[in-house]
Amino acid sequence: MEKINKLQFKLNKIYYYLFKERFDKKIDFDFPHDVNRWDLIQKLINSNNFKNYLEIGCDGDDSFSKIRVENKVGVDPYSGGNFRGTSDYFFSKNNNKFDCIFIDGLHEYSQVYKDIKNSLDVLTDNGIILLHDCLPTTLHKQAVPRYKNIWNGDVWKCIVYYRTLKNIDIVTCKIDQGISAIRKIHNKDCLDLNIADFKKLKFKDFYYNYQKYMRILEYKDFLRYIKN
What pLDDT, in 10s, does the model give residues 66-99? Answer: 999 999 999 999 999 999 999 999 999 999 999 9
Residue 191 — pLDDT band, cuts 50, 70, 90?
Answer: very high
What pLDDT, in 10s, does the model give residues 129-164? Answer: 999 999 999 999 999 998 888 899 999 999 999 999
CATH superfamily of 35-227: Vaccinia Virus protein VP39 (3.40.50.150)
The ranges assigned to domains in the chain are 35-227
Task: Reply yes or no on whether the pLDDT at 52 is more than 70.
Answer: yes
**According to the model, what pLDDT value does residue 1 have?**
56
Q: What would the DSSP string read from start to end of 2-47?
A: ----HHHHHHHHHHHHHHT------------SS--HHHHHHHHHHH
Burial 191-216 (b: 16+ CB within 10 A, else e): beeeeeebeebbbebbbeebeebbbb
Asked if 78 and 59 touch (Cβ cutoff 8 Å), the reply is yes
